[in-house]
Every structure is written in structure tokens, then in C-alpha cells.
Amino acid sequence: MRILYVTNESPLFPAGGIATYIGYMAEAMRAQGHEVFLLSWHFTDPGPVEDPWPFAPENVRLLELSLERLRAKFPYGQHNLCTAQVLAPEIERLVGEWRIDVVEAPDFLSPALSFFQDWQTRRNRRDLLCVSYNHGFIEDFYEADQIGPKIGTQNDLSGERQQLRASDLVIAPSQVSVRRLASYGIADNVSLVREPYRFARSAPADTLRNAITYMGRISLSKGIDKLVLFANVIDELLPLERVLLIGRKVDTPFRERDIEAYVRNRLSPRLAERVAFTDMLARPEALGLLEPGAIAPCFGSAETFSYACVESIDHGLLPVVRQGTPMAEFFPAQLQHHVQDETFSDLGRMGRGFERLAADAPAVVAELQQVNAEALDPDRIAARMTREYDSALRAKRRYTQVQVQVRRPATLADITVLMPVYRPDSALMETVESLVQQTAGVPRLLICDDGTPQEAQFWFDYARMRIPDCTVLRQPNGGLLAARATLLDRADSRLSLFLDADDILDPRYIDRVLTAYNANAHTPNAVLTQRFNFQQSDEVVLRHLQHDHLHMLRNDYRMTALIETAALRDVGFDITRRNGEADDWVFWLGFAAAGYRAEMVPEPLFRYRFRTGSMSWPWSRGQTIGSLSMVRQALAAMVERRPGQARALSRALFARMSLDE
């Protein structure tokens, strides 16, 4: 196989665990007979590449991106989502140039989001496996660091989860990772493959040193609070001569911002005099400070894997870990009794547990080295990854071969455009013309005239004149949702597409969403696209929150989407709402709650417009309260229908309450 790794962290410019993973994995995959390629990028010049290992020089592509050009192209967008849009055509070009079989990207910063969304919704694309590796969601680190993100950051970080949802295969490096992904509703496409590491196996010390050595970021998310507590407890049992903290120092969110002062103030006075900080070091220099026999607490709470813990074991240090973390998985079943309680709820038990571990320290370290040297052996991991790739590729190819049997490909004849109309004006002409200009052909149009006065009836004649198959239904004024319900009742096609009378479709809209509906291996029940927001604005709405907990807090969708008519009828509309409340939002929440799936085409293919005096502008306080009431009812119905969604709702509430506003 020909594998393209897409990441801004790589062995060429080491920056953390992702770079370490790529180094080991790419080298091992080459040894398995695969060809490996790298696409990386930077916004500031990192300097020359001294050694492209483990990639051949001709298999590396480095991009220099410009923040100024990115902001000029997407002045209203979030950084990661915009970067993914810019990277997508370059990934596609390299896939063709290098004849790539697998594109693997980390979830970190969602670099392949737009490419995966685009590739999965295209016809006549050769089979390509879209893979995401779960190195850890930044949102989880924000929570563990007790930091409240801005709303733009929240929206931006949703891309990490959406990239995984758009993937054919998601690789999780630990059982903890698998469970955490499942809590986000990401489960069906997940496989467990550990991160590789080649052990040198330094000889364990004969005796335990009276020293703690920690390597990693000095932050709350990496467990520095727990390390301080642990150090104070064991200092009573094994007086410590030194506490060495190796890594970048991260400010706290508390009144005491300086992490060094924060740690010293919480250590006992004796230990406060014995703690030393190195700040960030190059990896070889940091590894050189790991001394066999030292105690290595690894108490982080947001990781999916920990190279720092593995490297400590390899260098002969004694790891101390907690239950419920990936680091506990480095301990085999026969050593699990040495793993500390997850919450440190009993300090006496913590001390007694450490004493038992310390008494067997040399034997425990030796066994941990032996077990993990075998479990994380790069050749073994690469062979496992090869099997996962091969299995997922074969499944994707089988879908392509039996796609007609899964469901009949839809055509233009399967679509009805549903248009609720009240008091149209000249904007209707532009909307109708956007249908006439569809490259897929002119669709069937069903209009509901919701009580338009006689003097404006002539606009419907224009629609009949331009659209060969156009039917106008008339009813007394009942409001937007009543008009939608009438249209839905009369729609007899397999697929429907709601379109407001003042919005405009790109000429490629129907062809593109129809292709996505037929081509996507996830067999979606609806296809959404990005849009231009408000009148002639060039603001592109990149956010895609469907199936994510953030959609419980905010909505960016309209009803302009290709949707299975049966799903529309199943979800339905509350026709008693007359004031333009959150009807679109509530529909899409109900759509997800019913188990339906929507896919996103990452192109702005329709322009959302509104007029002064419409239900969308100006927005009233009553509409706000009415919208919130509708959303509350929708969320209650969602949890009643799918109790597992209570976890997503609690996550949404935390996300709302933790916002930095």
C-alpha cells in the first residue's frame, strides 16, 4: 500500500507524541513493504530539513501557509476549519500524483476534515481509505486544564470529532480511547491499535531511588496536581531527595498563574526546596535526564496514550499510574494490583499501594519492559495496522460493488423541490432561475402558496413558465411550518429539497448533493452543503455540528438539504409555531435523535438570503424564548428516545457553562 500521512507534527520537526508516533509507524510500515509519504505544513519557517527520515526525500511535501492569505480567504472562519479547506485540494493532488491508497491524519487540528468530506461524497473516485488516528481531542485537554474556550474555539475544535465521523477507519491506541470515542457517539468505525515503540530496555536499578522524575508538559491536564499530592504522601514513607519536572511549563487558570510557584506552594516545605524545573528540552536531552530507579508518576487525565510513560519504563524508571487512564493499560493483568485508585480517594491506601509497588520495584520494571517491548513492538504494530487497513479497504470496495443492492442510486427524477411561499417579490425570479440553471437538469417544483394576496399571484406564473414540472398548491395563511407540512403531505418522491423563495442554489447544487447521496459509503439519509450567509456576503459557514453535542447549543443548518422524504415525514414539523422560531434547528435535532445520518459537502453551494420584515430579521425576544422552548422539548424527546444521549446533553451543558465569554 501507498500511505500518505497528513500532519503538521512529524519527525522532520519534532513537536510531541504525534511526531514520535509517525517516526516509529512510518519506518515500520516501510519495513512491511509499504511506501510512505508525508504532507506537512507550517505558518512560520521552521528552518531546513536536515533528515527526512523515515521518508524518502521525494516522498515529502512541505507547504508554507500564510496566515494573512488564510484570513483574507476566510475572514469569518475558524483557523483549523479554514486550514482544512486550504489543505484539501493539495491532499487530492498528491493522492493522484503519488497514487495513494491510504490517507491517515491525526484528529489533532482536523487537517483532513474537508478532504475526507469531499472525497467521500464524490462519484468515480477510486477506492481510497480515509483514516483518522485518535491522538486526543483538544476539547478534552481544555476541560482537564480547567480552561474555558471561546465560542469560536469550540466551533473550531468540533472539526476534530467531525473528521473522525467522516473517516472510513478510526484508530484508537487504548481501551480508554475507545470508550471516550464511544461517549462522543463515534464507535462503528473504530479499531484499537497501540502506538509503536522500540524498546532499548535499560537495566532496572537494584534499588529504588529517593527521587521523582516526571517528563511531559507541566500542566493540570498532565496531572501535576495529582503528582504534588502523591509526592507529599510518599515523602512520609520514602523521604525524597529530588523532584525533577522535565517539560514545558503551562500557566494555570487560577489566581496563581505561574505553574512553578503553584507547584512549590502546594508541595511540603521540604519538597519545595528540592523541586527543579527544566522547561522544554529537545527529546534526546530530556531522555538523557531519565535515571533508572527513579519514580515516574504518570497521572494525566486526557491522553489516549503516553510515550512519556513508555519511555520512562524503557529507561528503568518505576511508573506510578491511575486506573481509568491509558497508562494503566501498560500494566498487564498480573500487575494491575499495583495500579493506583483513579480518584486518590484514600491517601492511606495510596501510601500502602506505593509501598507494595516499591518493595517489588526492580521486578515490576523488568516485567513492564518485557511485556510492553512485545506489545508495542513496531513490527508487530505495523502488521496489525496493515490488517486493519486491508480489512477496511476490502469493506469499502465491497460497498462500491454492491451499492446498487444496498439502495437504488437516486436520479433527478427522484427529487422534488419543495418551496413554501408567502407574498413573493422579484427575489423569487432569481430563486427560480437558480433551479433552471441546474447542471443536473431542471427539477420538479412543488410550491405551497400560503395565502398570498391576489395582487402578488403573477409571480407564480413566472415559476410555471420557467419550470416545466411546476405545481402550485394554495391554502389559507397558516405560516411557514404549515406550508412545509402541506408540501410534505403532497410530495411523492423519494427525496425532497426544501428551498426558500428568496435563496439561490449554485448551478452544481443538485448534481453535487445527488452524487454525495449515491456515493457516500455511510449511506446518508440527507446531504447538507456549506453556504454563503446572508444576502451578498462572502461569509462561508464552515461549521458542521450535526451529530455533535455542540449542535444542542447552536445551529447553522437550514432546511435547504437533500433529505429522504420518509425521514422528513418521520421527524415532521410543529405547525402551531408561527413566528419563525427554531424550526430548522429542532428538525435537525429530531433527525439525529431518530437515528438518521447526514453528510456534509464541503462547498458553499447555496446562498441564504433574507429581507427586512421576514421572520429572520429583525429577530425578537419572543422568538428567542420560543426557540429555546422548542429546543428544550426536542432535547427532552431525544433523551427519552435514546437514553444514551444524556451523556451528550451533559457534555453540551458543560460546554455552554464553561464558555469564556
Show contacts of 402-407: CB within 8 Å, 24+ apart: 403/518, 406/523, 407/523
* Dist CA 339 CA 354 (whole Å): 9
Cα-to-chain-centroid distance, residue 248 = 26
Q: How buried is 192 (Cβ within 10 angstroms: 0-12 exposed, 13-18 middle, 19+ buried)?
A: middle
2-192 maps to CATH 3.40.50.2000? yes
Cβ neighbourhood burial of 464 (10 Å; 0-12, 13-18, 19+): middle
Place of cell 517528563: 215
Beta carbons within 8 Å of 269's beta carbon, 6+ residues apart? none
Contacts of 296 (CB under 8 A, 6+ apart): 212, 213, 214, 215, 290, 309, 312, 313, 317, 318, 319, 320
Cβ atoms of 104 and 132 within 8 Å: the answer is: yes
Q: Which stretches of the chain score pLDDT less than 70?
A: 14, 399-406, 534-537, 611-618
Predicted pLDDT of residue 381: 98
H or E element at residue 215: strand 211-215
Q: State the DSSP code for 499.
A: -
**Using CA of residue 381, residue 383, residue 387, residue 393, what is the dihedral sign?**
positive
Residues 6+ apart with CB under 8 A from 385: 25, 29, 171, 193
In order, the DSSP letters of 309-336 are HHHHHHTT-EEEEBTTSGGGGGS-GGGG
Question: Would you state the pLDDT for residue 401?
Answer: 56
Q: Could you give the angle at which helices 17-31 and 378-406 cross, rounded to 10 degrees? A: 80
Query: Both ends of the chain: CA-CA distance in Å?
Result: 48
pLDDT of 333 reads 97
User: Is this model's pTM higher than 0.75 or not?
Assistant: yes
- The C-alpha cell at 459 is 409571480
The pLDDT of residue 203? 86
Q: Give the C-alpha distances (Å, rounded to integers) separating 245 from 79, 213, 371, 422.
A: 32, 6, 27, 68
The DSSP element (H or E) to which 214 belongs, if any, is strand 211-215
Q: How far apart are CA 622 and CA 577, in angstroms?
A: 12
* CATH topology identical between 2-192 and 211-376: yes
Place of cell 500518505: 4
In degrees, rounded to 5, the angle at the alpha carbon of residue 265 between the alpha carbons of residues 260 and 271 is 90
DSSP state of 58: G
Tell which residue, 429, 578, 583, 406, has the closest CA to residue 498: 583
Domain limits, the chain: 2-192, 211-376, 412-657
**Cα 193 off chain centre by:** 19
d(CA 363, CA 97): 52
Strand partners, 568: none
DSSP, res 634: H
Please give the full DSSP string across 501-547, using - where no structure is assigned: TT-EE-TTHHHHHHHHHHH-TT--SEEEEEEEESTT---EE----TT
Whole-angstrom distance, CA of residue 614 vs CA of residue 344: 58
- Cell for 233? 504522601
Element of type H or E holding 404: helix 378-406
3-state helix, strand, coil in the chain (%, to 5): 45, 15, 40
Q: Is 262 helix (H, G, I), strand (E, B) or coil?
A: helix
φ, ψ of residue 9 to 5 degrees: the values are: -110, 125
Task: Enter the C-alpha cell of residue 71.
Answer: 484570513
Given the candidates 3.40.50.970, 3.40.190.10, 3.40.50.2000, 3.90.105.20, the CATH classification of the domain at 211-376 is 3.40.50.2000
CATH number among 3.30.2320.50, 1.10.287.130, 3.90.550.10, 3.40.50.170, domain 412-657: 3.90.550.10
Helices 224-234 & 347-359 angle (0-180, nearest 10)? 70
Q: Are 173 and 192 in contact (CB under 8 A)?
A: yes
- Nearest Cα residue to 493 out of 445, 439, 561, 433: 445
Helix or strand (DSSP H, E) at 458: helix 458-466
Q: Are 388 and 170 in contact (CB under 8 A)?
A: no
Residue bearing cell 497501540: 194
- Nine cell digits for residue 636: 427532552
What pLDDT is stored for residue 406 in this prediction? 63
What CA–CA distances, in Å, run from 446 to 2, 9, 493, 511, 559? Answer: 49, 52, 11, 19, 15
